[in-house]
Structures are given as C-alpha cells and as structure tokens.
Amino acid sequence: MTMAVGLKTSRIIYIAVLMACFLPFMSPVIAMAAGIALSLAGIREPLLSGYSSVVLKASIVLTGFGMNISQVIGASKSGFIITGAAVLFVISTGLLIGMLLKTDRKTGLLISSGTAICGGSAIAAVAPVIDAKSHQISIAMAIVFILNSISLIAFPLIGNYLELSQEFFGYWAAIAIHDTSSVVGAGAIYGEEALEIGTTVKLIRTLWIIPLTILIGLSRKKSLKTGSSIPWFILFFILAIITAYLLPQFDSLFSHIQWLGRRGLVAALFLIGSGISLGEARKAGKSSFLTGISLWILIVGTSFFFLGRFIGIE
C-alpha cells in the first residue's frame, strides 16, 4: 500500500513538473535541471521520457511558423557568407577536437552543431537524426547553456573595454555566441545597432540548421539502405516557414503555434533530463566539457580576428 502511494505521489510530481514546462517561468535550463534532479531522486516515468524525440521533432516544426523569413531574405550577402564559413569551420574543427580528446562521437557532433549554429535548438534538431541518447543530449545542452550564460555577461564587458563599434560587436556576437536569446541579450546591452545587426546575422546563421541536419541524415549509412535517417521533420519545418511567409494574414495564429513549439522544446528538455542516470552522465567524461570549452574559445578568438583583419569591420 505504501509503495503504491509512493508511486502515485512520484507520478503526480513528475506530471506537475512536466505541465509547468508550459508556464513562463520555466526556462530550458530549469526544465532540464528539474528533469535530471527528479531522475537522480528516483522519480522517473520511462513511458513519457521515451517520447522525448517525438516531442523534439514536433516542437521544432511548430517553431518554424515563427521564423521571419523576410528578415533573412533582406539580410546582406556578406552575412550569409560569414555565417556559412563560420558554421563549416566550427563543425569541422569541433569534430577534430573531439577526435583528439577521444570524446564520444555523437556528443561531440551535438556540441559542434550547437556551437556552430544556434545552441540548444541545433542540438535538439540534430539529436533525433543521429539517434542520440539522453545523456549525450543533456551533456551537450549543459555545456551550451553554461557558455551562453558566460557570453551574455562577458561579451558586453569585453566590447566596452576594447571600445568596439556597434557593427563589429553585432557581427561578433552573432557568430561567436551559441543561442539566439543570448545574442539578442548581449546586443541589447551593447546598443541598438549592435542588436539589429546581431539579430539579423544570427537569423541567417540559424537557417544553416536545415542543410546541416539533412546532410547528417543522408550521410548516415543506414539512410542509404532504408531512408530512416532522413530528417523528414526538417522538411516540415521548412514547409512551416514557407506557410507563415505566404499567409501573413494568419500571423496571430502562427504566433500561438510558435509559442506551443517553444514551450514544447522546454518540455522535451525536461523529458530528456528525466531519462538520464548518473552512470550515463559519467560516460561523457571530462573530454566532452573540454571539447565544448575549447571549441567555444577558438570560435570567439578566430571570429574576432577574422572580422577585424579580413572583413574590415572596426
């Protein structure tokens, strides 16, 4: 009887936290941390956490209805070239660093993708394509979230100390900071022009998630045999973007759909966190953290040098 009551209480707590993921105060970081905390406390629902991949894919598609494609189309060609070069450099370098440090292959790819494109969103998109496990996703997410928090504080301080121009800071933040929200936050702190440039260039960088996930899916061996690794959800994501662009009269509806997608991503992170164990987390080892930190420091320094030396932005 006591055991039955205990299981019932645990289930109520789990469901309550999952539902709280759709409330404004629940951030991605808090959701994942809550999931991990419940898992370590022995409060688990394998049946629900097993749907994390499905929730991830569906949420990504729904967020497509909020993509401002007109902003991206109106952006400069230089922004597209710069972000493309940065994505290629970070992905290839990240995989190389991962090999040298003997980082788990899937974890290394998730970290590289998150660093190269748009932090947690890129990790969420790539994870189901490569069949990443919960502990691999959680480790990659944790590294990205920590570095995002550092960037939000450090970048404006560095920019002010070095007296960087608004234009330079906007480009630098858009290329070197993982998550879109952190780019927007850092840009808003630094100045209006930095915010506008940073947001626009970051939007272009975010779109690279589409070709990346498709290429990763097609490159997997089993996709050549069965087609099961082709990330079809990304095609629906593209369709959502196009639909929102062609039917602006439904902006209000699309805004609600995008909200559902964003909160769905938060719920997915909770499900992922609740599905890991301490033993799985230990599998990542120090090499995963060293890979993420090394890659981040490299892109921060390289992008700063490249923008100043070759682009001529001062």
Q: Rounded to 10 degrees, what is the CA torsion of 187, 121, 113, 312?
A: -20
**Confidence at residue 78, expressed as pLDDT on a 0 to 100 scale:** 56
CA distance 72 to 254: 18
pTM of the model: 0.66
The answer to whether residues 150 and 181 touch, using CB atoms and an 8 Å cutoff, is: no
Mean pLDDT of all residues in 156-167 = 89
Q: Is the pLDDT of residue 224 over 50?
A: no
**Confidence at residue 5, expressed as pLDDT on a 0 to 100 scale:** 40
CA distance 252 to 31: 27
Which has more pLDDT, 173 or 265?
173
Q: Residues 88-107: pLDDT tens digits?
A: 888 889 889 988 888 888 88
Q: Is the pLDDT of residue 270 over 60?
A: yes
Q: Tell me if residue 96 falls in helix, strand or coil.
A: helix
Structure confidence at residue 278 as a pLDDT band (50, 70, 90): low
Mean pLDDT of all residues in 55-62 = 80
Residue ranges of domains in the chain: 2-11+27-311
Least confident of 93-102, 113-122, 298-307: 113-122
Q: Residues 130-151: pLDDT tens digits?
A: 888 877 888 888 888 778 778 8
Structure confidence at residue 4 as a pLDDT band (50, 70, 90): very low
The answer to whether residues 268 and 124 touch, using CB atoms and an 8 Å cutoff, is: yes
**Confidence at residue 69, expressed as pLDDT on a 0 to 100 scale:** 66
Q: Is the pLDDT of residue 26 over 50?
A: yes
**Confidence at residue 283, expressed as pLDDT on a 0 to 100 scale:** 58
Closest CA to 126 of 107, 145, 139, 144: 107
Structure confidence at residue 37 as a pLDDT band (50, 70, 90): confident
Which has more pLDDT, 223 or 304?
304
Quote the tokens at residue 7: 């299981």
Mean pLDDT of all residues in 7-20 = 86
Closest CA to 179 of 228, 139, 130, 141: 141
Highest mean pLDDT among 130-139, 147-156, 229-238, 248-257: 248-257
Determine phi and psi for 313, rounding to 5 degrees. -85, 130
Mean pLDDT of all residues in 222-245 = 65
CA distance 68 to 66: 6
CA distance 219 to 11: 40
**Confidence at residue 225, expressed as pLDDT on a 0 to 100 scale:** 45
**Confidence at residue 20, expressed as pLDDT on a 0 to 100 scale:** 92
Which has more pLDDT, 254 or 82?
254
CA distance 175 to 194: 13
Per this entry, what is the length of the chain?
Answer: 314
Q: Tell me if residue 164 falls in helix, strand or coil.
A: coil
**Confidence at residue 19, expressed as pLDDT on a 0 to 100 scale:** 93
